[in-house]
Amino acid sequence: MAILLKDVREAASPEDGARVLVDLRRPRGVSEETLALRSWLPELAPSQELNRWFGESPLQWPLFRRRYMAELCAEKAVVSLNKLEAIATEKKRMTLLTSADDAERSHAAILRDLLEGVKKPPATSGPARAAASGRIRARRPR
């Protein structure tokens, strides 16, 4: 399974696979055709407070990761995280869309790392459990 990160304003391409928006809000001025979404999971976006704090303190990436992982423990986030995992296992490719300036240092990258570290999980493990424990699982070799 390949998980790509893309800016939400970039046009869809055949290589994207399932396109999933993981931001709190849909982008203004971007058509439905451009988005070409399989799903939109706003519950996986960091809180506005956490986003605001990280925008003011971009050098605090490790602390942002810890705080975001704690937010993923909320019930709504766990449900959405399981939906995201289901989409990822169903498709060979998936693209996480975000409007973050640097996708590699955003919540989308953390979600990708969670999903890529998951092997076929038993019911008591998976990305939600990894988020709850505050860790990201080791990545599978590609």
b/e per residue 25-63 (b: at least 16 CB within 10 A): eeeeebeeeebebbebbebbbbeeebbeebeeeeeeeee
Closest CA to 38 of 123, 116, 81, 97: 97
pLDDT of residue 122: 42
Q: pLDDT digit of tens for each residue in the chain (142 aa)?
A: 789 999 998 888 889 999 999 999 988 888 887 788 999 999 999 999 999 999 888 888 999 999 999 999 989 999 999 999 999 988 889 999 999 889 899 999 999 999 988 543 344 556 666 666 655 555 555 5
Q: The dihedral of CA 15, 18, 24, 30: what is its sign? A: positive
Say if CB 26 and CB 40 are below 8 A apart: yes
pTM: predicted TM-score of the whole model, two decimal places: 0.79
According to the model, what pLDDT value does residue 77 have? 92
Residue 86 domain-assigned? yes
- Written as six digits, the tokens of 46 are 């960091």
Which residues constitute the domain of residue 79? 2-133
Q: Which amino acid is at 1?
A: M
Tokens found for residue 78: 């766990």
pLDDT of residue 128: 61
Tokens for 116? 């890529």
Establish if 12 belongs to a structural domain.
Answer: yes
- Over its C-alpha atoms, the chain yields an Rg (Å, rounded) of 14
Query: 124 lies in a domain?
Result: yes
Which tokens sit at 48? 């506005």
- Tally of structural domains, the chain: 1
